[in-house]
Amino acid sequence: MKYYLIVGEASGDLHASNLMRELKKQDENAEFRFFGGDLMKSVGGICVKHYKEMAYMGFIPVLLHLRTIFRNMDMCKMDIVSWNPDVVILVDYPGFNLKIASFVKEHTKIPVYYYISPKIWAWKEYRIKDIKKNIDYMLSILPFEIEFYKKHNYEIEYVGNPCMDSVLDFKSKNNDGFDSFCKENGLSEKPVIALLAGSRRQEIKDNLPMMIESMKEFSKDYQIVLAGAPGIDKEYYSNYIDGDVKILFGKTYDILNFAKIALVTSGTATLETALFRVPQVVCYYTPMGKLLSLLKRHILKVKYVSLVNLIAGKEVVKELVADSMTIDNINKEAKSILYDVNYKENMLSEYDKIIDILGKESASGKAAKAIINKLSDQH
């Protein structure tokens, strides 16, 4: 069968490439054409446009590149019609993908599937109308989304979470001990405090200085190790780190594998940290803290910002967001984790419940099987 996939960022490239690999295993005649990235290219098929030529974040960058965005959208629409695939598979990236879905639904008979739902349960819930109208099949990677969509009379399928796949795969291939990890990366033998300060420059600028300052008290007994984000050069970090902080690139999982505690800027990293069973503090500061707190109370549809708490349906990890993120608050929470055994063990016990909720079946494998079965039923 012919599969047309569309992603718009690095995480989508990763998840789509794993899905493509599983589709190839289960469909020996699989052909791919896509808007994607290098990981998808490595699986095979034709890359029509690289996501790096499409990824504009924030109101001003989007405004400045509107002509390019519309040109990419028109190219995508025409290319789908020309290639006439058996299915279009959209991966997250809702601003672009939902418009493509609308076009495909209106002008062709090609089914449209969505892998990794847009986070409309957090905000922009109105997009449910477009999804119900234009998406034939939704594959979810977050179990709580099932209830959300059921509320809107739209059935979806939970296929597992790819973060679980990634972490289990890492653990199966990495058996080196802590001493080897330290020697290979020029670290001391002190236990590790991990800092995961986000993947964008603004996030790093806003969060990293406070993270570091709040941990200085512990530097006598612990070593502070920062996970460098891909795409951010070492020189940029040098504006914020000093001799007390060691930075490692491409080693996030290695760091988490041995960390005693992690300070994590909200996102997928909070879930990955939980899957490694590392106690954590969620840290997300913004200069417009009071405004963000107001928005969180009145616009966001969810009580939490971290995937850990969203999946658990309660506060498992402390979220220091906007104006509640202060050096003192981070420090206080870190002390609870490091010095209160019951507090730490309760967090780890809740992590185990989350791991059970997610399930250990391969998300990519299950998604590929579901897609092929659905297409077979439709033919």
Q: What is the 3-state secondary structure (H, E, C) of the chain?
A: CEEEEECCCHHHHHHHHHHHHHHHHHCCCCEEEEEECHHHHHHCCEEEEEHHHCCCCCHHHHHHCHHHHHHHHHHHHHHHHHHCCCEEEEECCHHHHHHHHHHHHHHCCCCEEEECCCCCCCCCHHHHHHHHHHCCEEEECCCCHHHHHHHCCCCCEECCCHHHHHHHHHHHHCCCCHHHHHHHCCCCCCCEEEEECCCCHHHHHHHHHHHHHHHHHHCCCCEEEEEECCCCCHHHHCCCCCCCEEEEECCHHHHHHHEEEEEECCCHHHHHHHHCCCCEEEEECCCCHHHHHHHHHHCCCCCCCCHHHHHHCCCCCEEEEHHHCCHHHHHHHHHHHHHCHHHHHHHHHHHHHHHHHHCCCCHHHHHHHHHHHHHHHHC
Q: What is the pLDDT of residue 201?
A: 86
pLDDT band at 123 (very low <50, low <70, confident <90, very high): confident
Q: What is the rounded average pLDDT of the residues 296-320?
A: 83
**Lowest mean per-residue pLDDT among 48-62, 86-100, 214-228, 300-314:** 48-62
User: Is residue 359 predicted with pLDDT exceeding 50?
Assistant: yes
Are 2-160+361-378 and 165-358 in the same CATH fold? yes
Task: For the chain, give every domain's residue range.
Answer: 2-160+361-378, 165-358
With 80 as the cut, is the pLDDT of residue 378 above it? no
- Per-residue pLDDT at 58: 47
Superfamily of domain 165-358: Glycogen Phosphorylase B; (3.40.50.2000)
pLDDT value of residue 72: 82
For all residues of the chain together, what is the average pLDDT? 90
298 has a pLDDT exceeding 80: no
| Fold of the 2-160+361-378 domain | Rossmann fold (3.40.50)
